[in-house]
Amino acid sequence: MPGFSHVINKFIQYFDVFIEAMFLTLKLTAASLLIAIVIGLFFALLKISRSKPLSLIADAYIGIVRGTPLIVQIFIFYFGLTEIVNISGFWAATWGLAFHNGAYIAEIFRGSIQSVDKGQSEAGRSLGMTRTLTMRRIILPQAFRRALPPLGNQFIIGLKDSSLAAFIGMPELFNIATTLGSANFDIMTYLLIVGVYYLVLVLLLTVLVNMIEKRMSVSD
């Protein structure tokens, strides 16, 4: 195991390199999760729809994601999409992560929507609202509040899962750590350093989610 002073020296020496990689990790995570939220909401609505074919499509998508490893999904997007359209590795990784996280977010939204009392929907319809308008103005705002805690957990998982983008050459945190570790024959030092960066990011994300939860609970 490397000494504490050695780890601190390397932490300071490569601070700029890791900070740049950290921002790339955050960009990758933010882009993929924003897309995943849209995908998740779309498939959640399909899953709870009265149309059996639409529900089966949602089930198939969620089943495929749950039944295959994330790294395989990223590789399929990277090697598959780049043969069809000219996209960068960043966007291939983003779509791979979004495709994966979207399935889990879909289940979070589905559970949250179905947890809203049916009387809320009936009240909206009694006021003359269409089913779509009732969903948008009454059901979804309540469902989102209920979904926030599990969404926060999924966001943290998405942040950590972004490290798999290293395997398609993205110079994010984990890639930089393993590259420096191999070049300097000191892999453990850089793994400890990158572990600190991930820990700080997860703690900051946790604080942010808790702040949003408190603000929304006050508004209720």
Could you report the per-residue pLDDT of 132-188, keeping only the tens digit for each?
777 777 788 888 888 998 999 999 999 999 999 999 989 999 999 999 999 989 999
Residues 6 or more apart in contact with residue 192 via CB below 8 angstroms = 2, 7
Spatial CA neighbour of 74 closest among 140, 194, 172: 172
Helix (H) or strand (E) holding 186: none
Task: Output the pLDDT for position 166.
Answer: 94
d(CA 72, CA 84): 18
Phi-psi label, residue 68: left if phi above 0, alpha if psi -120 to 50, beta otherwise:
beta
Identify the pLDDT of residue 219: 54
Report the C-alpha gap between 89 and 54 in whole angstroms: 32
Q: Both tokens of residue 10?
A: 């390397």
Helix orientation angle between 4-13 and 187-219, rounded to the nearest 10 degrees: 70
219 or 1, greater pLDDT? 1
C-alpha 161/C-alpha 198 separation (Å) is 11
Which of 88-102, 105-119, 121-135 is predicted with the least confidence, judged by mean pLDDT? 121-135
Position 212 pLDDT exceeds 70: yes
Categorize the per-residue pLDDT at 16 as very low, low, confident or very high, splitting at 50, 70 and 90.
very high
Burial of 178 per CB tally in 10 Å (0-12, 13-18, 19+): middle
Mean pLDDT for the stretch of residues 112-119: 84
Phi and psi angles of residue 85, each rounded to the nearest 5 degrees, phi first: -130, 155
The residue-averaged pLDDT of 201-211 equals: 92
- Number of Cβ within a 10 Å radius of residue 112: 22
Residue 199, pLDDT score: 96
Domains of the chain: 4-219 (1.10.3720.10)
